[in-house]
Amino acid sequence: MFEPELFPSASALLPLPPGVTWLEGFALDWEDALIGALAQIIKAAPLRHMLTPGGQRMSVAMTNCGSLGWITDRHGYRYAALDPDSGRPWPALPEVIRELAAAASLAAGYPSFEPDACLINCYAPGARMSLHQDRDERDFSAPIVSVSLGLPATFLFGGLTRRERPQRLPLAHGDVVVWGGPARLAYHGVAPVADGRHPKLGRQRINLTLRRAGPLNLNGN
């Protein structure tokens, strides 16, 4: 029989733009493994506040894993195989992140997504990310998979021009969102994170952004 839902989930209440697949709580099955893997990565490649090309220090602290890492400095935004702070390659993409990305992209209709870059964004209360497009990747046909952990945040999701007023998505610990097709080049950002405390992660929001940044090659990497 049809059961009316008394407390429909947030994603069921919002008309999502085409290309956006919101998987609420999808990462919870991997929660502890993810947190353990993150701790290892941050040990090898510490979080840091990078400089924008305009000379502003970012409020979000970042690091990467995978064969390519997203960086910004006075010279611009780009992907790099080496951590500029250590001169070493970024830590490898852990199996748990690979598995989660494969499951989420499959659920969203992208069965052959092979990420080579995982940007780790760490937001203390008050940190934010202003509206921007992601266009440093080589091929925009691949989706982007994002995983939210820790404190909740309001994600801002606009159109293909800066002019369109962004829609607000409340993202919680464990939510995974797959952004593909017409959503891939949309303007997006994160409103300042409100103070709070997550039982496992404390006073922070961590977002993993999995991308295909470089070319696909025949060696499976």
Which residues contribute to the site for ligand MD3 (CB under 6 A)? 119, 121, 129, 134, 144, 146, 179, 183-184, 186, 188, 190, 207, 209
CB of 187 to ligand MD3, least distance (A): 8
Q: Which does 63 bind (CB under 5 to 8 A by kind): Fe ion, ligand MD3, none?
A: none
CB of 179 to Fe ion, least distance (A): 9
Which two structure tokens, joined as six digits, stand for 213?
Answer: 């940044």
Q: Which does 97 bind (CB under 5 to 8 A by kind): Fe ion, ligand MD3, none?
A: none
CB of 109 to Fe ion, least distance (A): 21
Q: Which does 183 bind (CB under 5 to 8 A by kind): Fe ion, ligand MD3, none?
A: ligand MD3
Residues in the chain, how many?
221
Q: Give the residue from 59, 22, 61, 210 showing the smallest Cα distance to 134.
A: 210
CB atoms within 10 A of CB 56: 12
Question: Pairing between strand 69-73 and 76-80?
Answer: antiparallel
Nearer to Fe ion, 134 or 137 (CB): 134
Taking the C-alpha atoms of residue 183 and residue 108, their distance in angstroms, rounded to an integer, is: 13
CB of 62 to ligand MD3, least distance (A): 8
CB of 119 to ligand MD3, least distance (A): 5
Nearer to Fe ion, 83 or 134 (CB): 134
Q: Which does 96 bind (CB under 5 to 8 A by kind): ligand MD3, Fe ion, none?
A: none
Nearer to ligand MD3, 5 or 22 (CB): 22
Taking the C-alpha atoms of residue 140 and residue 213, their distance in angstroms, rounded to an integer, is: 9
| Cα torsion through 146, 150, 152, 157, rounded to 10 | -20
CB of 26 to ligand MD3, least distance (A): 14
Nearer to ligand MD3, 37 or 213 (CB): 213
**From the centroid of its chain, how far is CA 170?**
14
Nearer to ligand MD3, 58 or 216 (CB): 58
Taking the C-alpha atoms of residue 79 and residue 86, their distance in angstroms, rounded to an integer, is: 15
Nearer to Fe ion, 44 or 131 (CB): 131
Residue 207: beta bridge partners?
Answer: 121, 148
- Site of interaction with Fe ion (CB under 5 A): 134
Q: Which does 184 bind (CB under 5 to 8 A by kind): ligand MD3, Fe ion, none?
A: ligand MD3
Taking the C-alpha atoms of residue 102 and residue 214, their distance in angstroms, rounded to an integer, is: 18
DSSP 3-state of 34? helix
Phi, psi of 79 (to 5 degrees): -100, 145
